[in-house]
Amino acid sequence: AQKITQTQPGMFVQEKEAVTLDCTYDTSDQSYGLFWYKQPSSGEMIFLIYQGSYDEQNATEGRYSLNFQKARKSANLVISASQLGDSAMYFCAMREPGGAGSYQLTFGKGTKLSVIP
């Protein structure tokens, strides 16, 4: 069963506007973590922001914020004041229990964001 769902294959946003990228997840664990990564056309995966399941405040990192709604199991990424350099694929991921001392990330299929000048 799919554990991370990103329902928007592609999104367009006007430069300087805000945009929300959707992510819903499914887990029975009480302790989990949610991550957002950015993948530009060069291919590297860039860590953006993290939200822990017990964090009471929504995570923020500069222009990125995570709208965490635990009861709805959603962890949407909000990018404020979009820039042309924000054009990329964005992946939502969830930590899953791994072996001792480790954990694994399960990724969604991603959303391609295009910023329009």
Partner 1 sequence: SQTIHQWPATLVQPVGSPLSLECTVEGTSNPNLYWYRQAAGRGLQLLFYSVGIGQISSEVPQNLSASRPQDRQFILSSKKLLLSDSGFYLCAWSVRVASGGLYEQYFGPGTRLTVT
User: Which residues of the shown chain bind partner 1 in the complex (CB under 8 A)?
Assistant: 4, 31, 33, 35, 37, 42-47, 50, 52, 91, 93, 95, 97-110
Could you tell me the smallest distance in angstroms from the CB atom of residue 86 to partner 1?
Answer: 18
According to DSSP, the β-strands at 10-14 and 111-116 are parallel
Q: Which is nearer to partner 1, 12 or 47 (CB)?
A: 47
Could you tell me the smallest distance in angstroms from the CB atom of residue 55 to partner 1?
Answer: 10
Please give the DSSP secondary-structure letter assigned to residue 31. Answer: S
Q: Which is nearer to partner 1, 42 or 72 (CB)?
A: 42
- For residues 7 and 22, is the Cβ–Cβ distance under 8 A? yes
Q: Which is nearer to partner 1, 14 or 114 (CB)?
A: 114
Could you tell me the smallest distance in angstroms from the CB atom of residue 99 to partner 1?
Answer: 6
Compute the C-alpha angle 112/53/79, nearest 5°: 30
Distance CA 58, CA 69 (A): 9
Q: Which is nearer to partner 1, 13 or 35 (CB)?
A: 35
Could you tell me the smallest distance in angstroms from the CB atom of residue 15 to partner 1?
Answer: 25
- For residues 14 and 83, is the Cβ–Cβ distance under 8 A? no
Distance CA 43, CA 37 (A): 11
